[in-house]
């Protein structure tokens, strides 16, 4: 697989560049504007697989994406999502143990050109990944479970409760009987820093799970783990005022 376009090289080669959400006045109103989505802050434990992506949109010309500072053991995949109609760049990486406690930074970039237009426009987005220490008590993943994703983690300051929801994706080869046996165990929620148990959520056959946990403000976690059959999802907890 060829190496992705290096963002630093792309910035030097093409002079027109847009950062973040700043308004660009150099293009006419009849032209779309190339932009990159923002994946936000990302947290993962060392030894746990990370799948991190951004989407490039806003320009109907040919879009090429790139990445700088890619770890040597990481994979970068670029593809066009026909359903969302956007170009996507995805990093697949399992942080090694020696990255625990460190912050690893990536830089995504994209450029658009073609369609008979001589100008080339680009955008870039910096992303920081906080790598937490490796987990010590995680079982081997159940083959019936493909992924476990935490879609939302919000602490309500007024009601003093933690609302968490997510989605389990089943392996295509798993049977209904295997899935039924798997969901006997719940998703276990814990503080990602000290492993203190916070609660549990029952998983449905459709893979969806959610729970509301009463917690005093003094016990509000900053980052939580959601563990199900050896699959761990880690996410920052948002505050709701």
**pLDDT surpasses 80 at 16:** no
Task: Tell me the domains of the chain and their CATH numbers.
Answer: 7-132 (2.60.40.10), 145-240 (2.60.40.10)
Q: What are the b/e assignments for 81-97, b being 16+ CB within 10 Å? A: eeeeeebbbbbebebee
Both tokens assigned to 218: 């003094």
At 20-34, the pLDDT tens digits run 333 333 344 445 588
How much is the pLDDT for 69? Answer: 85
Helix, strand, or coil (residue 207): coil
At 170-206, the pLDDT tens digits run 999 999 999 999 999 999 999 999 999 999 999 999 9
């Amino acid at each position: 697989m060829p190496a992705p376009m290096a963002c630093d090289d792309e910035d030097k080669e093409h002079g027109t560049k847009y950062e973040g959400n700043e308004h660009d006045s150099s293009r006419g109103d009849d032209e779309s504007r190339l932009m990159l989505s923002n994946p936000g802050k990302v947290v993962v434990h060392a030894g746990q697989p990370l799948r991190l992506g951004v989407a490039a949109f806003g320009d109907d010309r040919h879009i090429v994406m790139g990445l700088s500072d890619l770890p040597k053991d990481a994979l970068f995949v670029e593809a066009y999502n026909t359903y969302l109609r956007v170009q996507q760049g995805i990093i697949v990486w399992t942080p090694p143990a020696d990255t625990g406690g460190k912050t690893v930074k990536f830089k995504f970039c994209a450029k658009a050109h073609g369609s008979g237009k001589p100008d080339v426009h680009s955008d870039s987005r910096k992303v920081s990944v906080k790598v937490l220490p490796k987990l010590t008590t995680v079982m081997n993943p159940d083959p019936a479970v493909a992924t476990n994703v935490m879609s939302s983690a919000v602490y309500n300051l007024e009601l003093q409760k933690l609302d968490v929801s997510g989605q389990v994706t089943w392996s295509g080869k798993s049977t209904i009987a295997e899935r039924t046996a798997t969901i006997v165990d719940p998703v276990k929620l814990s503080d990602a820093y000290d492993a203190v148990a916070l609660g549990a959520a029952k998983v449905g056959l459709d893979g969806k799970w959610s729970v509301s946990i009463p917690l005093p403000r003094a016990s509000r976690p900053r980052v939580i783990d959601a563990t199900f059959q050896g699959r761990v999802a880690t996410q920052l907890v948002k505050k709701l005022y």
